[in-house]
Structure 1
Amino acid sequence: MLDFRLKVFYTVAQTLNFNRAAEQLNISQPAVTKHIKELEQLYVTTLFDRTRKHIVLTKSGEVLLQHAHLIFEQYQKLEFDLNLLPEQNGRDIAHWCQYYHCSVCYSRLSGSFSPAFSGY
Protein backbone atom coordinates (compact mmCIF):
# COMPACT_ATOMS: atom_id res chain seq x y z
CA MET A 1 0.00 0.00 0.00
CA LEU A 2 1.44 3.34 -1.05
CA ASP A 3 0.11 5.17 2.01
CA PHE A 4 2.04 2.94 4.40
CA ARG A 5 5.20 3.22 2.33
CA LEU A 6 4.78 6.98 2.43
CA LYS A 7 4.35 6.82 6.21
CA VAL A 8 7.54 4.76 6.45
CA PHE A 9 9.39 7.27 4.27
CA TYR A 10 8.05 10.18 6.32
CA THR A 11 9.14 8.56 9.57
CA VAL A 12 12.63 7.81 8.26
CA ALA A 13 12.90 11.37 6.93
CA GLN A 14 11.89 12.76 10.33
CA THR A 15 14.23 10.56 12.35
CA LEU A 16 17.00 10.21 9.76
CA ASN A 17 17.47 6.75 11.19
CA PHE A 18 16.11 3.46 9.84
CA ASN A 19 16.24 1.72 13.25
CA ARG A 20 14.38 4.49 15.08
CA ALA A 21 11.79 4.63 12.30
CA ALA A 22 11.30 0.88 12.60
CA GLU A 23 10.80 1.20 16.35
CA GLN A 24 8.27 4.01 15.95
CA LEU A 25 6.35 2.08 13.31
CA ASN A 26 6.58 -1.25 15.18
CA ILE A 27 8.08 -3.02 12.19
CA SER A 28 11.52 -4.49 11.56
CA GLN A 29 14.41 -2.47 10.19
CA PRO A 30 14.62 -4.72 7.09
CA ALA A 31 10.93 -3.96 6.44
CA VAL A 32 11.69 -0.23 6.59
CA THR A 33 14.53 -0.70 4.12
CA LYS A 34 12.25 -2.73 1.83
CA HIS A 35 9.55 -0.03 1.82
CA ILE A 36 12.09 2.69 1.05
CA LYS A 37 13.56 0.62 -1.79
CA GLU A 38 10.07 0.04 -3.19
CA LEU A 39 9.40 3.79 -3.19
CA GLU A 40 12.76 4.43 -4.84
CA GLN A 41 11.92 1.87 -7.53
CA LEU A 42 8.44 3.33 -8.00
CA TYR A 43 9.74 6.87 -8.48
CA VAL A 44 13.00 5.77 -10.16
CA THR A 45 15.12 7.89 -7.84
CA THR A 46 17.20 7.73 -4.70
CA LEU A 47 15.48 9.23 -1.68
CA PHE A 48 18.34 9.05 0.84
CA ASP A 49 22.10 9.25 0.60
CA ARG A 50 23.34 6.53 2.92
CA THR A 51 26.70 6.22 4.63
CA ARG A 52 27.67 3.92 7.46
CA LYS A 53 26.85 6.50 10.11
CA HIS A 54 24.42 8.94 8.49
CA ILE A 55 21.54 9.23 6.11
CA VAL A 56 20.45 12.47 4.47
CA LEU A 57 17.62 13.30 2.13
CA THR A 58 18.45 13.72 -1.53
CA LYS A 59 16.76 16.47 -3.55
CA SER A 60 14.17 13.88 -4.60
CA GLY A 61 13.71 12.93 -0.97
CA GLU A 62 13.16 16.56 -0.02
CA VAL A 63 10.50 16.92 -2.71
CA LEU A 64 8.76 13.73 -1.59
CA LEU A 65 8.92 14.87 2.04
CA GLN A 66 7.21 18.16 1.17
CA HIS A 67 4.45 16.32 -0.68
CA ALA A 68 4.12 13.66 2.02
CA HIS A 69 3.64 16.40 4.60
CA LEU A 70 0.87 17.96 2.49
CA ILE A 71 -0.77 14.57 1.90
CA PHE A 72 -0.83 13.72 5.60
CA GLU A 73 -2.12 17.20 6.39
CA GLN A 74 -4.98 16.62 3.93
CA TYR A 75 -5.73 13.24 5.54
CA GLN A 76 -6.02 14.97 8.92
CA LYS A 77 -8.35 17.61 7.49
CA LEU A 78 -10.45 14.94 5.80
CA GLU A 79 -10.74 12.94 9.01
CA PHE A 80 -11.64 16.07 10.98
CA ASP A 81 -14.30 17.13 8.46
CA LEU A 82 -15.82 13.66 8.32
CA ASN A 83 -15.99 13.51 12.09
CA LEU A 84 -17.96 16.75 12.12
CA LEU A 85 -20.81 15.12 10.22
CA PRO A 86 -23.54 14.20 12.69
CA GLU A 87 -24.52 11.02 10.86
CA GLN A 88 -20.96 9.71 11.12
CA ASN A 89 -20.93 10.03 14.90
CA GLY A 90 -24.27 8.28 15.20
CA ARG A 91 -23.18 5.46 12.93
CA ASP A 92 -20.00 4.98 14.91
CA ILE A 93 -22.01 4.51 18.09
CA ALA A 94 -24.45 2.19 16.37
CA HIS A 95 -21.65 0.10 14.87
CA TRP A 96 -19.82 -0.07 18.18
CA CYS A 97 -22.92 -1.23 19.98
CA GLN A 98 -23.83 -3.69 17.25
CA TYR A 99 -20.33 -5.08 17.28
CA TYR A 100 -20.42 -5.63 21.02
CA HIS A 101 -24.04 -6.85 20.95
CA CYS A 102 -25.23 -4.31 23.43
CA SER A 103 -28.53 -2.98 22.24
CA VAL A 104 -29.26 -1.89 25.78
CA CYS A 105 -26.12 0.24 25.68
CA TYR A 106 -27.21 1.80 22.39
CA SER A 107 -30.68 2.66 23.60
CA ARG A 108 -29.22 4.34 26.68
CA LEU A 109 -26.54 6.19 24.72
CA SER A 110 -28.75 7.35 21.88
CA GLY A 111 -31.11 9.07 24.27
CA SER A 112 -28.31 11.23 25.62
CA PHE A 113 -27.31 12.66 22.23
CA SER A 114 -28.93 15.36 20.16
CA PRO A 115 -31.98 14.56 17.99
CA ALA A 116 -29.67 14.30 14.97
CA PHE A 117 -28.59 10.90 16.29
CA SER A 118 -32.00 9.56 17.13
CA GLY A 119 -32.51 8.00 13.68
CA TYR A 120 -29.79 5.40 14.19
Structure 2
Amino acid sequence: MRFSAIGLILSLGAGAAFAAEKPVRFWNLTSETVTSLRLAPAGTRDFGADLTKGDSDGSVDHDERLAIKYLSPGLYDVSIGFKSGRSCAVSGVHIEAASVFSIEEKDLASCGK
Protein backbone atom coordinates (compact mmCIF):
# COMPACT_ATOMS: atom_id res chain seq x y z
CA MET A 1 0.00 0.00 0.00
CA ARG A 2 2.83 2.36 0.88
CA PHE A 3 4.45 1.85 -2.54
CA SER A 4 1.13 2.52 -4.28
CA ALA A 5 0.78 5.87 -2.53
CA ILE A 6 4.35 6.83 -3.39
CA GLY A 7 3.80 5.79 -7.01
CA LEU A 8 0.64 7.88 -7.20
CA ILE A 9 2.40 10.93 -5.78
CA LEU A 10 5.32 10.54 -8.19
CA SER A 11 3.04 10.11 -11.20
CA LEU A 12 0.99 13.19 -10.27
CA GLY A 13 4.17 15.21 -9.85
CA ALA A 14 5.50 14.01 -13.21
CA GLY A 15 2.21 14.94 -14.88
CA ALA A 16 2.34 18.45 -13.44
CA ALA A 17 5.97 18.84 -14.54
CA PHE A 18 5.09 17.68 -18.06
CA ALA A 19 2.21 20.16 -18.28
CA ALA A 20 4.49 22.97 -17.12
CA GLU A 21 7.01 22.16 -19.88
CA LYS A 22 4.41 22.12 -22.66
CA PRO A 23 4.96 25.20 -24.85
CA VAL A 24 2.41 27.84 -25.75
CA ARG A 25 1.10 27.31 -29.29
CA PHE A 26 -0.08 29.85 -31.86
CA TRP A 27 -2.92 28.59 -34.08
CA ASN A 28 -3.27 30.43 -37.39
CA LEU A 29 -6.99 30.72 -38.13
CA THR A 30 -6.57 33.51 -40.69
CA SER A 31 -7.08 32.79 -44.38
CA GLU A 32 -3.41 33.42 -45.22
CA THR A 33 0.05 32.08 -44.49
CA VAL A 34 1.73 34.00 -41.66
CA THR A 35 5.34 34.97 -42.44
CA SER A 36 5.97 37.24 -39.44
CA LEU A 37 4.67 37.02 -35.87
CA ARG A 38 6.01 39.38 -33.21
CA LEU A 39 4.73 39.92 -29.67
CA ALA A 40 5.07 42.92 -27.34
CA PRO A 41 3.79 43.37 -23.80
CA ALA A 42 0.37 45.04 -24.18
CA GLY A 43 0.54 48.81 -24.53
CA THR A 44 4.21 48.87 -25.54
CA ARG A 45 5.99 48.81 -28.88
CA ASP A 46 8.70 46.45 -27.60
CA PHE A 47 8.15 43.73 -30.20
CA GLY A 48 10.40 40.73 -29.87
CA ALA A 49 11.94 38.46 -32.46
CA ASP A 50 9.95 37.00 -35.35
CA LEU A 51 8.47 33.80 -33.93
CA THR A 52 7.83 32.24 -37.36
CA LYS A 53 11.59 31.59 -37.55
CA GLY A 54 10.94 28.74 -35.10
CA ASP A 55 8.93 26.86 -37.73
CA SER A 56 10.68 24.43 -40.08
CA ASP A 57 9.70 26.46 -43.18
CA GLY A 58 9.70 29.88 -41.51
CA SER A 59 5.96 30.39 -41.92
CA VAL A 60 2.66 29.27 -40.40
CA ASP A 61 0.03 28.08 -42.88
CA HIS A 62 -3.74 28.39 -42.37
CA ASP A 63 -4.85 25.99 -39.60
CA GLU A 64 -1.23 25.23 -38.63
CA ARG A 65 0.00 25.50 -35.05
CA LEU A 66 3.38 26.90 -34.04
CA ALA A 67 5.01 25.92 -30.74
CA ILE A 68 6.52 28.92 -28.96
CA LYS A 69 9.06 28.05 -26.27
CA TYR A 70 10.01 30.34 -23.41
CA LEU A 71 6.99 32.66 -23.61
CA SER A 72 5.72 34.03 -20.32
CA PRO A 73 1.96 34.15 -19.78
CA GLY A 74 0.46 37.61 -20.05
CA LEU A 75 -1.33 40.17 -22.19
CA TYR A 76 0.34 40.89 -25.53
CA ASP A 77 -0.04 43.05 -28.61
CA VAL A 78 0.72 41.20 -31.84
CA SER A 79 2.26 42.35 -35.09
CA ILE A 80 1.44 39.83 -37.80
CA GLY A 81 2.61 39.74 -41.42
CA PHE A 82 1.36 37.62 -44.28
CA LYS A 83 2.80 36.05 -47.43
CA SER A 84 0.71 38.50 -49.51
CA GLY A 85 2.62 41.44 -47.97
CA ARG A 86 -0.29 42.53 -45.77
CA SER A 87 0.56 43.30 -42.15
CA CYS A 88 -1.86 43.81 -39.26
CA ALA A 89 -2.03 44.44 -35.54
CA VAL A 90 -3.95 42.58 -32.87
CA SER A 91 -4.23 44.19 -29.44
CA GLY A 92 -4.72 42.61 -26.04
CA VAL A 93 -4.13 38.92 -26.76
CA HIS A 94 -4.29 36.97 -23.48
CA ILE A 95 -1.77 34.11 -23.44
CA GLU A 96 -1.81 31.46 -20.72
CA ALA A 97 0.91 28.93 -19.89
CA ALA A 98 0.84 25.70 -21.93
CA SER A 99 -2.19 26.88 -23.91
CA VAL A 100 -3.16 27.59 -27.50
CA PHE A 101 -3.93 31.12 -28.64
CA SER A 102 -5.38 31.79 -32.05
CA ILE A 103 -5.77 34.74 -34.39
CA GLU A 104 -8.68 34.88 -36.83
CA GLU A 105 -9.54 37.32 -39.63
CA LYS A 106 -12.04 39.10 -37.36
CA ASP A 107 -9.23 39.83 -34.85
CA LEU A 108 -7.08 41.73 -37.36
CA ALA A 109 -6.96 45.52 -37.16
CA SER A 110 -4.87 48.32 -38.65
CA CYS A 111 -3.99 46.29 -41.74
CA GLY A 112 -1.90 47.65 -44.57
CA LYS A 113 0.69 46.67 -47.12
**Fold agreement, TM-score > 0.5:** no
Hey, which of these two has a bigger chunk of helix by percent?
1
Structure 2 length normalisation: TM-score?
0.29
Structure 1 length normalisation: TM-score?
0.28
1 or 2 for the larger relative contact order (CA 8 Å, sep ≥6)? 2
Task: Flag the structure with larger Rg.
Answer: 1
